[in-house]
Amino acid sequence: MSADAFNCAAVAEVHRPSSTLAPNVGDILGRIGNLETRLARTASEIDAAQAVRFRVFVEEMGAQLSPEAMLRKRDFDSYDAFCDHLLVLDRSIEGDSEDQIVGTYRLLRQDVAMKNGGFYSASEFAIDELLARHPDKRFMELGRSCVLPDYRTKRTVELLWQGNWAYALKHGMSAMFGCASFPGIHPESHALALSFLHHNVAAKDEWAVGALPHLARDMDLMPAEAVNPKRALMALPPLIKGYLRLGAMVGSTAVVDKAFNTTDVLIVLPIASISDRYLNYYGADAGRFAS
């Protein structure tokens, strides 16, 4: 699995009492071998997840965060205080749980987002317009996805999606969305892949969504007849390919994120669109890898 930044620059430190975090009992969402997925239980586990994010986003991908974030070697922002943090832990690593975190996602439900100023992706994409067309649906945002290099394997990806699926079912979510990223700030260097997404999996009609007008970058960089699908799929980041296998759609325009050194596209995944193949694999009740 590639390390894909879902959101943007750090702006504020988290101050969250550990007593407000997920309960300690019965919160294991899945296990495969020595790997386990669950929500963060303590403020120290969130801090450790932020350290993993820093290693991937800054040290590997070249993101430029705030001076405080660079000094502390943590990727953090104000959203961390009210999001849930999905973790993958390697239980074979000696030490505390903080030492065992090898992957993370940041999850934000619509009801929580609306109480705290909205979704983070709304700083890049026209999320409010999408929500307004679906007043009867409950959305969740997937953000800050990253996995340490040695753990970018099928097992880790399966556990992350087991966790996302179990979380979505538990909270009655109708659709997921979030930014997925191409490396670098020049969309033209990804013309083949971006054009493939535009011509083949663009979100349409009630699910149509684009970047905010002042940030929008064209994804229609090549005519459809010039796009070789096999080559385009090979050029897609693994995370985006994973979303497409589940049945995801992609927004109509991209955003260049200079702070994170990425070109972002918006992934939209209605729960009802998740392919039967993966519903059967993970289980309609999220029981495939449950403990």
Average pLDDT over residues 223-249: 93
In a domain, 14, yes or no: no
Of 10, 5, 8, give the one whose Cα is nearest residue 61: 5
Q: In sequence order, what are the beta bridge partners of 254?
A: 217
d(CA 200, CA 288): 30
- The two beta strands, 175-183 and 139-147, are parallel
In a domain, 83, yes or no: yes
Instruction: Evaluate the CA torsion angle 201, 202, 205, 211 in order and state its sign.
Output: positive
Task: Report the CATH number at residue 153.
Answer: 3.40.630.30
d(CA 289, CA 267): 25
In a domain, 76, yes or no: yes
CA 231 to chain CA centroid, nearest Å? 24
d(CA 128, CA 126): 6
In a domain, 119, yes or no: yes
Average pLDDT over residues 250-263: 96
Of 223, 273, 222, give the one whose Cα is nearest residue 244: 273
Domain that holds residue 158: 28-289
- Residue range 105-156, pLDDT digits in tens: 999 999 999 999 999 999 999 999 999 999 999 999 999 999 999 998 888 8
Of 91, 3, 87, 9, give the one whose Cα is nearest residue 48: 87
- Residue range 169-195, pLDDT digits in tens: 999 999 999 999 999 999 999 999 999
In a domain, 165, yes or no: yes
Which pLDDT belongs to residue 3?
38
pLDDT at 10 over 50: no
- Per-chain mean pLDDT for the chain: 88
In a domain, 12, yes or no: no
Domain count, the chain: 1
- Take residue 185 and report the two structure tokens written for it: 């700030």
pLDDT band (50, 70, 90) for residue 15:
very low
Asked which of 55-64, 86-95, 276-285 is least confident by mean pLDDT, the reply is 276-285
Q: Residue for token digits 């079912």?
A: 169
| pTM strictly above 0.85 | yes
Which pLDDT belongs to residue 233?
95
Which pLDDT belongs to residue 289?
64
In a domain, 21, yes or no: no
pLDDT band (50, 70, 90) for residue 61:
very high
In a domain, 181, yes or no: yes
